[in-house]
Amino acid sequence: MQNLKFNQLLLLSNSEKSGNVFQFQTNLNLITAAENNVGKSTLVKLLFWALGCELGFDTTWKNLDCKALVKFQIGDIKYQIMRYKDLISFKEGDSATINYPKITGAYAQKFAEIVDFKALLPNREDTLEVPPPAYYFLPYYIDQKKSWASPWDSFENLQQYADWKQTIVKYHVGIYKPQHFEIETDKYHQKTLQRVLVEDIKKIDIALSIVDTYVPKLSTVATTDENKFNLMTAEIRQELVSLASRQEVILDKLAKTESEKAYLEHQKVIAEGVITELELDYKFSVENLEDDNVECPLCGTIHQNTAIERAAILVDKQQAESQLTQINISLSKLNDNLFKINSQLDEARTEIADLKNKYVVEDEKQEKVGLTTIIESIAGKSIQEKVIENRTEKLVEQDTIEKELKALIKEQKDIQSKELIEEIKSYFNETFINYAKLLNTEEVNLSAINSPLDYNKVVKEGGAAENVRVTLAYNLAIYSVVEKYSNGTRSAFIIDTPNQHEQSDTNYDSIINLILNTFPKDAQIILCAMDNEHLKPYQQKAHVIRLTDKKLLDTNQYEMVKTEFDKF
């Protein structure tokens, strides 16, 4: 397993004419200070932010309008990534710089490629995509606030994917292998085809309903006068075969056009609903929210509410209005077309009506039936047969896809070895219990935590101080499982402020000792903590970054740092 190790972080604020450079060694690192609020947590956040993760920064820091450049390596290959707002610049070794306008999409794919991150998640459009770098770093970062109370929650905006957590946890701990996502890609392809077929079948059903409405219902036509019937047949061949064909074509056009109209009217209702919702969202964001951030009442996620986000709502509304305009234009054209088709149908029926008295037959009830009814019935029946045949073909395709999906689901289950899953759970449980014991949590009931997937149960037992140690034991056990069973690149592990909720001297010693003795010798650790005599065993072996009241930016460093950014 290769390691991602941070080498250097450069910060630049042109508006403040200040900057700074922070070096990291390949093993133990300590970010410390004598006082609070000098930027320890912000410094480690910036490492992740520069690589494309979203984190919560206070307004003071945001107003500095900083750029960040992080230099790191994976194995022997060196990388540089610079971020300003959502713009990313990527450089591998001596190759040319690649610029990306956003975090998702191409950049997320590139980053996943270099760290060998194979997980895929379904986006809001229900298509699979490579998630941003935050989902790779989740098992390697315990942030100062959320992570100590909620594992796998170190970054912002994670809820951009619904129900992501189980998938990401299973991938990181080795339950889901890369082949799982290869099959998942095939499944989503089949599901896309399935959705198209369902829509096609709905349109066909609408067409059949329309044909049934327009075409007269007629029992089998017969006549007792064979000579008269043969004569009629010959005359129809000469005079009326083109008329029947013509009406059949018209009815076919009518059915298809009415079907398309019904589909567009459904899309129109959806578009109008979207516009209404966006109007309410914008009005609410402007009139009811004073801050630039708003907390989701359901999941607690902090969402930005700046002018940029509000403008984005207006852009979405304009796009929806543009789509509605196009739908209305298409509906207008369809209505015009329907008028023409109905006119053509009326003309055909008029011509048939003129011949109504010329050709009359008897049905099986010996009732006279006009030629108009006969031709419309024959034409309608022909259309119905074609449409039903098409529907049958679609149903066969749908059945084939359902069988393929079942086969893919079975294949996914088959590649998940039950023995391996049990082995992973057993190793996690053994490791977690051992770490919890070393952290003096014997009085906490840990019986419910038996698997990496029991993250929601981690902070339910014990007091606040005990919960911190249980959470640390869980996270370190996850790291050990990742180390043993995952095939991807291992990141540096960052722990922010482990002395939560006034740990006793004994317990803080146990925390530091566990951190010192848990990780492999080649792992990079970055610890953020206030000056404390209990840190000495770690501090003596670590590269120390000591922050002062100057915080993270220094006007004296500006020119030198600016030169580095200009080179990049």
- pLDDT tens digits along 55-90: 988 888 888 889 999 999 999 999 999 999 999 999
**pLDDT at res. 259:** 84
Task: State the Cα–Cα distance between residues 25 and 15, nearest whole angstrom.
Answer: 30
Q: Which of 468, 505, 551 is nearest to 31 (CA)?
A: 551
**pLDDT at res. 60:** 83
pLDDT-wise least confident of 65-69, 120-124, 302-306:
302-306
**SS3 of residue 81 by DSSP:** strand
pLDDT-wise least confident of 71-75, 183-187, 255-259:
255-259
Non-local (6+) Cβ contacts of 435 within 8 A are 472, 473, 476, 477, 514, 518
Decide: 172 and 482 in contact? Cβ < 8 Å.
yes
**SS3 of residue 43 by DSSP:** helix
**pLDDT at res. 314:** 81
Residue 363 pLDDT exceeds 60: no
Decide: 529 and 516 in contact? Cβ < 8 Å.
no
**pLDDT at res. 217:** 62
Residue 288 pLDDT exceeds 80: no
Which two tokens mark 198?
Answer: 């369902």
Q: Which residue has the tokens 């899953």?
A: 421
CATH no. for 3-176+416-567? 3.40.50.300
Residue 290 pLDDT exceeds 70: no
- pLDDT tens digits along 443-477: 888 889 999 999 999 887 678 888 899 999 999 99
Q: Angle at the Cα of 169 (from 494 to 47), degrees rounded to 5? A: 25
Q: Which residue has the higher pLDDT, 443 or 185?
A: 185
Task: State the Cα–Cα distance between residues 367 and 360, nearest whole angstrom.
Answer: 10
Task: State the Cα–Cα distance between residues 393 and 395, nearest whole angstrom.
Answer: 5
Specify burial of residue 294 (Cβ count, 10 A radius: 0-12, 13-18, 19+).
Answer: middle
pLDDT interval class at 221 (50, 70, 90): very low
Residue 21 pLDDT exceeds 90: yes
**pLDDT at res. 258:** 86
Q: Angle at the Cα of 331 (from 326 to 332), degrees rounded to 5? A: 100
- pLDDT tens digits along 368-416: 655 556 656 666 677 777 888 888 888 999 899 999 999 999 988 888 8
Residue 160 pLDDT exceeds 50: yes
- pLDDT tens digits along 81-117: 999 999 999 999 999 999 999 999 999 999 999 999 9
Q: Count CA atoms within 13 Å of residue 387 on its CB side.
A: 26
**pLDDT at res. 561:** 92
**pLDDT at res. 78:** 96
Angle between helices 371-415 and 178-214 (to 10 degrees): 170
Task: State the Cα–Cα distance between residues 245 and 352, nearest whole angstrom.
Answer: 12
Instruction: Label the pairing between strands 77-84 and 18-23.
Output: unpaired
Which two tokens mark 369?
Answer: 């039936």
CATH no. for 241-354? 1.10.287.370
Q: Identify any residues that bridge with 369 across adjacent strands, giving them in sequence order.
A: 361
Q: Which residue has the higher pLDDT, 353 or 170?
A: 170
Residue 241 pLDDT exceeds 60: yes
**pLDDT at res. 129:** 94
pLDDT interval class at 312 (50, 70, 90): confident
The structural domains of the chain, with segments of one domain joined by +, span 3-176+416-567, 241-354
- For residues 473-502, give the mean pLDDT: 92
Phi and psi dihedrals of 326, rounded to 5? -65, -40
Q: Which residue has the higher pLDDT, 328 or 286?
A: 328
Decide: 74 and 490 in contact? Cβ < 8 Å.
no
Instruction: Look at the chain and count its residues.
Output: 568
- For residues 165-170, give the mean pLDDT: 95
**pLDDT at res. 19:** 94
Which two tokens mark 91?
Answer: 């450089």
**pLDDT at res. 545:** 94
- pLDDT tens digits along 338-361: 899 888 888 887 877 676 556 555
Query: In angstroms, what is the C-alpha Rg of the chain?
Result: 35
Q: Which residue has the higher pLDDT, 222 or 552?
A: 552
Give, in order, the Cα–Cα distances in Å from 265 to each of 91, 329, 493: 49, 12, 54
**pLDDT at res. 224:** 38
**pLDDT at res. 223:** 40
Give, in order, the Cα–Cα distances in Å from 436 to each of 393, 432, 458, 501: 61, 6, 11, 17
